[in-house]
């Protein structure tokens, strides 16, 4: 698959904070307008932990998975993990991959803001190369999942099924 | 907006309540307490969330607004077509009263058209500001009208009381009178009484002894009700606790409601006291929880 960008946004749970884009990879510097537009699509109003959200962003699908990160000093915060995917792909197919990455990090007790920042390149490359991702000592096995979602881009004619054809 | 839409608005009994207040005041926690009957820890609110409750035939849309600075400009727009405004303040966070006052002032012109209820939240905490202090700090006396009620969205303290008032202001009619239990007792799973609250001294004399001995009995039997001296006593078991509620025989028709109230309390206690699972009940904590929650059951 080809993902143009991976984006992590957070709402900010402490007093005086506000929603921000935590990381955007590989495009790092975003104009103010772009940040605003992206944020409103990565973390739309009323979105809750565990939900997916699929929006259009320019020529892309913007797919997000919403999760929580536990904080020591403050209350837990709301995050989204998003990827920009070319519109020829079927976005629903990729939601399990986003979920798998975040849930595995959570299950292994390493889901934190720092990890997400430090490993943004590994996550981005892993997704684009459709391979497993290694974060600290944890291996997140994505290759099988990618196998499952292997699909023809949707702008090509669907394959016809059935023995008559 | 089409004709059908207009008609729907006139005919339907939908009411819209907008919940405002600074971030971290407890707005989302209240909405979920109303939905689940107990306390759940939340992440902050992105923008706004909307839930619909049905309260005695009236559909109420609760719009829970994000309190962070970026979202406060949205309050006005939501309040425009609302029938009621709630402003929630963290009563323990004196350092932010000034900020709360500023935000309240920004919407005060709208509040001349719709009633306002200020909820002084987190009244389970020890170091909360008094109601008088909050009225002064927020400058509430300068508003044309307001009401203020201390509540806790952690323990459930006064939540029903606050919503009875809101319902009345919203609909002009009183919520159906709830039953008035006379007493409430919580036991551990061995049948040892841990805490009691009562509106009169009904638990003095023979009644309490009868209840405690009956609780032991009820382990063996399937009995869940007992009639004694003009009272009906209802028993219920949950995983780690047991509860009994005493109602007057004249309220016998409200038995279901009493049972449901007791059930909700037991669920809440199970949720708030996970340590009971390991038989480590903190009696002081339990006592406090029951006392706070029972403001919804016993007046
Ligand atoms: N002690 C206590 N904490 C509360 C109470 N209500 C909410 N909280 C906590 O206050 C924080 C903010 O709650 P939340 O409902 O998200 O606030 P909101 O920003 O106004 O929606 C959370 O950590 C809650 O657990 C309460 O009545 N008592
Ligand atoms: Mg909230």
Can you give the pLDDT at residue A165? 37
Domain holding A40: CATH number? 3.30.450
Interface contact B69-A18, CB threshold 8 A: yes
- Residue B82 and residue B203 share a domain: no
Domain holding B223: CATH number? 3.30.450.60
Query: Rounded to whole angstroms, how far apart are CA atoms B4 and B55?
Result: 25
Cβ(B19)–Cβ(B86) under 8 Å? yes
For residue B49, the chain A residues in CB contact (below 8 A) are 45-46, 48
- Ligand 1 centroid from CA B79, angstroms: 22
Q: Does B140 reside within a domain?
A: yes
- Ligand 1 centroid from CA B45, angstroms: 11
Nearest-5° angle of CA A77, CA B75, CA B64? 50
Query: Rounded to whole angstroms, how far apart are CA atoms B71 and A9?
Result: 16
How many domains does chain A divide into? 1
- Residue B227 and residue B155 share a domain: no
Q: How close B97 comes to chain A (CA, Å)?
A: 13
pLDDT tens, A125-141? 999 999 999 999 999 99
- Residue B80 and residue B223 share a domain: no
Nearest-5° angle of CA B4, CA B10, CA B12? 90
Can you give the pLDDT at residue B221? 61
Cβ(B236)–Cβ(B243) under 8 Å? yes
Q: Mapping DSSP to helix (H, G, I), strand (E, B) and coil, where does residue B159 land?
A: helix
Domain hosting residue A136, numbered range: 3-151
Q: Does B177 reside within a domain?
A: no
Domain hosting residue B285, numbered range: 183-296
> A151-160, B135-144, B170-179, B207-216: which range is least confident on average?
A151-160
Rg (CA), chain A: 17
Size of interface A-B (CB pairs under 8 A): 49
Can you give the pLDDT at residue B68? 87
How many domains does chain B divide into? 2
- Residue B14 and residue B155 share a domain: yes
Nearest CB to B23: which of A15, A46, A49? A15
Residue B191 pLDDT exceeds 50? yes
Q: Does A126 reside within a domain?
A: yes
**How confident is residue B220, by pLDDT bands cut at 50, 70 and 90?**
low
Q: How close A11 comes to chain B (CA, Å)?
A: 7
**How confident is residue B226, by pLDDT bands cut at 50, 70 and 90?**
confident
- Residue B193 and residue B213 share a domain: yes
- Residue B109 and residue B222 share a domain: no
List all residues whose CB is within 6 A of at least one atom of ligand 1. A 75; B 21, 23-29, 41-42, 44-45, 67, 121-122, 124-125, 152-154
pLDDT tens, B106-137? 999 888 889 999 999 999 999 999 999 999 99
B282, containing H or E segment: none
- Residue B118 and residue B84 share a domain: yes
Q: Does A164 reside within a domain?
A: no
- Residue B194 and residue B100 share a domain: no
Q: Does B15 reside within a domain?
A: yes
Q: Mapping DSSP to helix (H, G, I), strand (E, B) and coil, where does residue B63 land?
A: strand
Domain holding B98: CATH number? 3.40.50.300
In this predicted model, which residue has the larger pLDDT, B287 or B9?
B287
Cβ(B66)–Cβ(B48) under 8 Å? yes
Cβ(B24)–Cβ(A15) under 8 Å? yes
- Residue B195 and residue B124 share a domain: no
Q: Does A60 reside within a domain?
A: yes
- Residue B42 and residue B129 share a domain: yes
- Ligand 1 centroid from CA A75, angstroms: 9
Q: Does B178 reside within a domain?
A: no
- Ligand 1 centroid from CA B68, angstroms: 14
Q: Does A38 reside within a domain?
A: yes
Interface contact B44-A49, CB threshold 8 A: no
**How confident is residue B3, by pLDDT bands cut at 50, 70 and 90?**
low
pLDDT tens, B11-34? 456 899 999 999 999 999 999 999
- Residue B160 and residue B89 share a domain: yes
Reply yes or no: is the peptide bond before residue A26 cis, omega within 30 of 0: yes
Cβ(A39)–Cβ(A19) under 8 Å? yes
Q: Does A161 reside within a domain?
A: no
Q: How close B284 comes to chain A (CA, Å)?
A: 26
Rg (CA), chain B: 21
Q: Does A121 reside within a domain?
A: yes
Residue B71 pLDDT exceeds 80? yes
Cβ(B38)–Cβ(B267) under 8 Å? yes
Q: Does B176 reside within a domain?
A: no
Q: What single string gives the DSSP state of each residue in chain A?
A: --EEEEEEEE---STT---EEEEEES-----HHHHHHHHHHHS-TT--TT-EEEEEETTEEEEEEEEEE--SSS--EEEEEEEEEETTS-GGGGHHHHHHHHHHHHHTT---HHHHHHTHHHHHHHHHHT--EEETTEEE--HHHHHHH----TTSPPPPPSTT-
Considering the entire predicted model, what is its pTM?
0.85
Residue B254 pLDDT exceeds 50? yes
For residue A41, the chain B residues in CB contact (below 8 A) are none
Q: Does A162 reside within a domain?
A: no
- Residue B146 and residue B237 share a domain: no
Which whole number is the average pLDDT over B272-286?
A: 92
Query: Rounded to whole angstroms, how far apart are CA atoms A107 and B185?
Result: 41
Query: Rounded to whole angstroms, how far apart are CA atoms A132 and A123?
Result: 9
In this predicted model, which residue has the larger pLDDT, A29 or B57?
A29
**How confident is residue A51, by pLDDT bands cut at 50, 70 and 90?**
very high
User: Where among B171, B197, B222 does a domain terminate?
Assistant: B171
For residue B48, the chain A residues in CB contact (below 8 A) are 45-46
Q: Does A103 reside within a domain?
A: yes
**Percent share of chain B, pLDDT over 90:** 49
Which whole number is the average pLDDT over A18-27?
A: 92
For residue A18, the chain B residues in CB contact (below 8 A) are 68-70
B114's CB contacts (< 8 A; 6+ apart) are B79, B82, B83, B84, B85
Q: CA nearest A123: which of A147, A104, A151?
A: A104
Can you give the pLDDT at residue A162? 45
User: Where among B171, B195, B225 does a domain terminate?
Assistant: B171
* Start-end of H helices in chain B: 3-11, 27-36, 69-79, 97-106, 131-138, 159-171, 206-220, 255-272, 283-293
Can you give the pLDDT at residue B223? 62
Q: Mapping DSSP to helix (H, G, I), strand (E, B) and coil, where does residue B78 land?
A: helix
Q: Are strands B84-90 and A20-25 parallel, antiparallel or unpaired?
A: unpaired
Within 10 A of B66 (CB to CB), how many other CB atoms are there? 25
Query: Rounded to whole angstroms, how far apart are CA atoms B276 and B273?
Result: 6
Within 10 A of B37 (CB to CB), how many other CB atoms are there? 19
**How confident is residue A14, by pLDDT bands cut at 50, 70 and 90?**
confident
Query: Rounded to whole angstroms, how far apart are CA atoms A98 and A103?
Result: 9
B129's CB contacts (< 8 A; 6+ apart) are B91, B92, B94, B97, B120, B137
């Amino acid at each position: 698959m080809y993902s143009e960008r991976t984006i992590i946004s957070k709402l900010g749970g402490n007093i005086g904070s506000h929603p921000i884009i935590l990381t955007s990879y590989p495009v790092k510097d975003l104009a103010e307008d772009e940040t605003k537009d992206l944020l409103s699509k990565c973390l739309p109003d009323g979105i809750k932990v565990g939900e997916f959200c699929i929006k259009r962003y320019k020529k892309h699908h913007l797919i997000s998975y919403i999760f929580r990160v536990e904080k020591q000093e403050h209350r837990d915060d709301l995050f989204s993990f998003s990827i920009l995917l070319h519109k020829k792909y079927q976005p629903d197919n990729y939601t399990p991959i986003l979920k798998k990455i975040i849930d595995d990090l959570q299950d292994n007790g390493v889901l934190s803001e720092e990890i997400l920042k430090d490993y943004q390149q590994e996550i981005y490359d892993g997704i684009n190369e459709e391979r497993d991702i290694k974060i600290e000592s944890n291996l997140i096995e994505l290759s099988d999942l990618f196998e499952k979602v292997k699909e023809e881009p949707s702008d090509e004619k669907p394959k016809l099924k059935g023995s008559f054809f | 907006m089409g004709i059908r839409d207009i008609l729907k608005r006139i005919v339907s009994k939908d009411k819209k309540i907008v919940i405002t207040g600074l971030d971290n005041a407890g707005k989302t926690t209240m909405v979920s307490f109303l939905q689940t009957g107990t306390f759940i820890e939340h992440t902050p609110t992105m923008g706004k969330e909307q839930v619909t409750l049905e309260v005695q035939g009236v559909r109420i849309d609760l719009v829970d607004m994000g309190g962070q600075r970026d979202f406060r400009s949205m309050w006005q727009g939501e309040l425009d077509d609302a029938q009621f405004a709630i402003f929630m303040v963290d009563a323990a966070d004196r350092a932010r009263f000034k900020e709360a006052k500023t935000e309240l002032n920004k919407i005060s012109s709208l509040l001349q058209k719709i009633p306002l209820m200020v909820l002084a939240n987190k009244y389970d905490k020890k170091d909360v500001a008094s109601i008088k202090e909050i009225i002064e700090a927020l400058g509430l006396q300068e508003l044309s009208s307001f009401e203020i009620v201390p509540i806790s969205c952690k323990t459930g303290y006064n939540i029903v009381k606050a919503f009875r008032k809101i319902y009345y202001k919203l609909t002009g009619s009183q919520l159906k009178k709830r039953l008035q239990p006379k007493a409430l007792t919580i036991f551990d799973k061995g049948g040892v009484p841990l805490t009691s609250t009562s509106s009169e001294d009904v638990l003095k004399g023979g009644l309490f002894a009868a209840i405690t001995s009956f609780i032991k009995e009820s382990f063996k039997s399937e009995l869940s009700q007992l009639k004694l001296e003009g009272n009906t006593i209802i028993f219920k078991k949950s995983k780690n606790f047991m509860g009994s509620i005493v109602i007057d025989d004249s309220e016998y028709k409200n038995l279901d409601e009493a049972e449901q109230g007791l059930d909700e309390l037991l669920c809440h206690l199970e949720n708030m006291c996970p340590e009971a699972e390991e038989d480590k009940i903190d009696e002081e904590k339990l006592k406090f929880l029951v006392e706070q929650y029972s403001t919804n059951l016993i007046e």
